Amino acid sequence: MRKTFSKSVMMLLVIIIIYIIHTIYFEKKQVDEKRVNKDYMKFVIAFPTMTNIPEDLLLVQEEINKITRSQIEVEVELKVFKFEEYKQAVQTMLVDHKQLDLMLALNHIHTEVNIKDQLVVLNDIIKQNGKGIIDAVGKDAIEACKLNGNIYGVPNVRGYATGYDGYVLRKDLVDKYKIDVKSIKTIKDLEAVFEIIKNNEPDLIVLVPGTRTLLYHHGEYDKLGGNVFGVLPNYGQDDQIVDLFATQKYMENLELVRRWYLKGYLQPDIFMDNLTLEQKISENKIFAYTQFGKPGIEQQEQSYYDVEMEFIQIGETAIGSEAISKCLWTITRNTISQEKSMQLLNLLYTNADIMNLLCYGMEGRHYIFSEDGHIKSADNLGQKYTMGNSWSMPNQFITHIWEGNSLTLWDDLHAFQEGAIKSKGIGFRFDISPVYKEYIAVEKIYTQYSIILENGLVDPKIYLPKMREELDAAGLKRVIIEKQHQFEKWKLKNKQ
């Protein structure tokens, strides 16, 4: 009798267990089917790539969507543009009223779109839906990016200090000619290296600009407010604004790159060149390019271009006025939901899985882990997702660390920042609205002349006076006076 009863109980328990498993399975299946069939709000995120648009972008996008669907019930569409095309692309989207929810606004873009009232004021919604951002970035950094008391964008989390006048050199050629990179301390030392390469590798371009012009990474001044129309000399240690183009130092820098051009170190046909920096490196067309310095820079560049690199820095390490506000993540007026956009932005700043997907792609396909905890490129497929822009993503400090870097890289960046020269203009934002017409005019003139002057194509003794004359006629002095006026008010308010 007891055995029969026990068997009955056991059968009943088995039936109950099977029923529970069956119920859980079908409930999960129904939930999954609902998720698959559900129409999610889709949010458009725009940012630039420093290389080419990744072949596997849509695969990575879908992996991100798996997270955003479960976390905040939205989907994302990644709009990625080449760096040189980005500004025009996002401005066109905004003007044409196309959906654009989240956008990386590099300093010059942020200034212009804000003046056109194309960005959402974040003062209130960041308190409601962006607490993770505040914790990750810090209130002081957010305050430093305010314009006229309002938050129009939040800074990304990265190292804010910059090593100026830096150069990335191909390691294979450094080794081939037994060049001691640690002994390169001055421009004279660097020119001796350039001469070695020029004489022994006549088919190579010795040096190209990493970004637009050779002087972009060369400034011994603080681009106060994120532009060169009125600067603070001596890495921002002087607190009186000067006209950069009237300084002896600017002329000396122009004469330097002109000398390099005449010696044959630089590219003679820059306007006929359609190759990206990535293509020039992969096709072995160049020896060196300009770049800013920081801990891990060699490995960063190597991971972008799959070529071993050496880095030298001749200038100082400093934090400029625009350092914190250089990369601002914004919500545009074209968004379909300000509140939901802020929730999504908050997720980007706090979710390590999304950050690693955006920065490095998919684990197992694009990167793998090494035994010591680093990540490295996966064989064959690694190059299908590289953009060279992890420094511009919302929170680099929650991502994996690439092979070749110290596992304490994020701590190293903090230490690098602590030892940097601090500009007296940190936290100052220049409102161009009072001189908007003049600002746009002088920017256009500078853009036209800088490409030839700052790449050594023309004699600065002839063309610098021409540029200055046109800048003065367009209203440069008024822009500088307005910047100085705002800067003096800011100093009084901040007791500097």
Instruction: Give me the pLDDT at residue 114, please.
Output: 65
Burial (0-12, 13-18, 19+ Cβ within 10 Å), 380: exposed
Domain boundaries, the chain: 41-158+324-399, 162-321+419-496
Angle between helices 248-262 and 187-200 (to 10 degrees): 20
Mean pLDDT of the 167-185 span: 96
Tokens of 140: 């002081």
- Residues 350-373 have a mean pLDDT of 95
**Helix, strand, or coil (residue 205):** strand
Question: b/e for 328-338, b at 16 or more Cβ within 10 A?
Answer: bbbbbebbeeb
Confidence of residue 7 (pLDDT cuts 50, 70, 90): low
**Alpha helices, DSSP H, located in 420-459:** 436-453
Look at residue 166 in the predicted model and tell me its pLDDT: 96
User: CATH number of 162-321+419-496: 3.40.190.10, 1.10.287.610, 3.40.50.300, 2.40.50.140?
Assistant: 3.40.190.10
Three-state SS for 91?
helix
| pLDDT-derived band at 6, boundaries 50, 70, 90 | low
- Residues with Cβ within 8 Å of residue 126, at least 6 apart in sequence: 133, 134, 142, 151, 154, 342
Do 41-158+324-399 and 162-321+419-496 share a fold?
A: yes
2 compared with 236, residue with greater pLDDT: 236
User: If 0-12 CB within 10 Å is exposed, 13-18 middle and 19+ buried, where does residue 377 land?
Assistant: buried
Whether 364 shows a pLDDT value over 60: the answer reads yes
- Where residue 138 falls (left for φ over 0; alpha for ψ -120 to 50; beta otherwise) is left
Angle, helix 352-360 to helix 57-72, in steps of 10 degrees: 170
pLDDT: which is higher, 190 or 28: 190
Structure-token pair, residue 183: 């002994």
According to CATH, what is the number of the domain 41-158+324-399? 3.40.190.10
Contact 300, 402 (CB under 8 A): yes
pLDDT digits (tens, 9 = 90+) for 377-431: 887 676 789 888 898 999 999 999 988 889 999 999 989 988 999 999 988 888 8
Q: Backbone phi, then psi, for 243, in 5-degree steps?
A: -80, 110
Q: What is the pLDDT of residues 214-230, one digit of tens each?
A: 999 987 899 988 899 99
**pLDDT (mean) for 101-114:** 80
Count the helices and strands in the chain (H runs, E runs): 19, 13
